């Protein structure tokens, strides 16, 4: 198989991948009845020269936006899913309640990866609501990479019930694992270190196991390391590292899994 450079791979993903086909509704953080432009420039982009490559500048796009509205059912856990893809490693943060657009840039990032300036990554984040709401509430997925910020909001309405509910009380008992932060795709230059996140929501705490691109349990070594956080660190990635990596989270209540496709690419010739 011919090795493709980073920009060719990214262009192929844009043209034929989910980015080109997603149609999402971004909801204003202050007025959830209006559609808005969901891209915010924190700094003006320099003019691109005619010979510039497609992805020299920061870029970030939704591949899956959360729904505009959700209705809570009594006793049921809600999962709000947000996916995006961009240069470097995009960070995703969830904001509860209304937030003026002017305050977005002041948010602290929850990015879990190391510096990866040459990477192109598709990330997936899930916000879990495991308690009863007493009033409608807005949950906003905020993504950021470099100078780019995008966002989309979901308004969750409380369950239709005449019962008197304890305000915001968490559901009792154990909960099966739900993987809430992971990467769907990670492209980076050969020789780079790649950190594959696997953040889990569970009660009791879930045990995390990683499987490599040959569907074998990852063995700790000089290039593969499962961190105490549950993330997988692959050092000095090589062409033979290409493939699907699976994170499996398990506790007494059940299990959940998530796949990440790793694609090592050639550094471009000068």
Residue 71's pLDDT band (cuts 50, 70, 90):
very high
User: Domain 173-270 is classified in which CATH homologous superfamily?
Assistant: Immunoglobulins (2.60.40.10)
Superfamily of domain 32-41+55-171: Immunoglobulins (2.60.40.10)
The pTM (predicted TM-score) of the whole model is 0.77
User: Residue 64: pLDDT band by 50, 70, 90 thresholds?
Assistant: very high
Q: Is the pLDDT of residue 100 over 90?
A: no
Q: Compute the mean pLDDT over every residue in the chain, rounded to the nearest whole number.
A: 78
Predicted local distance difference test score (pLDDT) of residue 29: 38
In this prediction, residue 242 carries a pLDDT of 97
Output the pLDDT for position 166: 53
Instruction: Return the percentage of the chain with pLDDT > 90, whole number.
Output: 55
* Mean pLDDT of the region 152-180: 80
Q: 72 vs 4, which has greater pLDDT?
A: 72
Confidence label for 99 from pLDDT (cuts 50, 70 and 90)? low
Return the pLDDT at 116: 76
Nearest to 190 by CA among 231, 225, 224, 241: 241
Domains 32-41+55-171 and 173-270 share a fold: yes
Question: What is the reported pLDDT for 266?
Answer: 85
pLDDT exceeds cutoff 60 at 102:
no
- pLDDT of 118-148, one tens digit each? 899 999 999 999 988 888 999 999 999 988 8
How confident is residue 179, by pLDDT bands cut at 50, 70 and 90?
very high
Delimit the domains of the chain by residue range.
Answer: 32-41+55-171, 173-270
């Amino acid at each position: 198989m011919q090795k493709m450079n980073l920009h060719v791979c990214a262009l192929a993903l844009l043209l034929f991948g989910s980015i080109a086909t997603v149609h999402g509704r971004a909801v204003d953080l202050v007025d959830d009845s209006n559609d808005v432009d969901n891209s915010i420039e924190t700094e003006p982009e320099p003019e691109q020269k005619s010979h510039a490559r497609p992805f020299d500048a920061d870029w970030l796009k939704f591949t899956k936006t959360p729904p505009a509205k959700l209705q809570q059912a009594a006793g049921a856990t809600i999962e709000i899913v947000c996916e995006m893809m961009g240069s470097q490693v995009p960070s995703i943060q969830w904001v509860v309640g209304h937030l003026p657009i002017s305050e977005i840039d002041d948010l602290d990032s929850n990015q879990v990866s190391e510096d990866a300036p040459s990477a192109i990554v598709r990330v997936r984040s899930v916000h879990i609501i495991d308690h009863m709401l007493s009033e409608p509430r807005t949950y906003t997925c905020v993504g950021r990479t470099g100078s780019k910020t995008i966002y989309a909001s979901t308004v969750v309405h409380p369950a239709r019930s005449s019962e008197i509910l304890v305000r915001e009380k968490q559901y009792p008992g154990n909960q099966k694992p739900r993987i809430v932060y992971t990467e769907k795709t990670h492209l980076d230059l050969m020789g780079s270190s790649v950190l594959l996140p696997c953040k889990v929501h569970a009660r009791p705490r879930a045990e995390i196991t990683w499987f490599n691109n040959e569907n074998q349990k990852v063995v700790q070594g000089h290039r593969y390391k499962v961190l105490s956080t549950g993330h997988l660190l692959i050092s000095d990635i090589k062409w033979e590292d290409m493939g699907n990596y699976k994170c499996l989270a398990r506790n007494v209540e059940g299990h959940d899994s998530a796949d990440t496709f790793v694609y090592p690419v050639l550094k471009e010739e000068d």
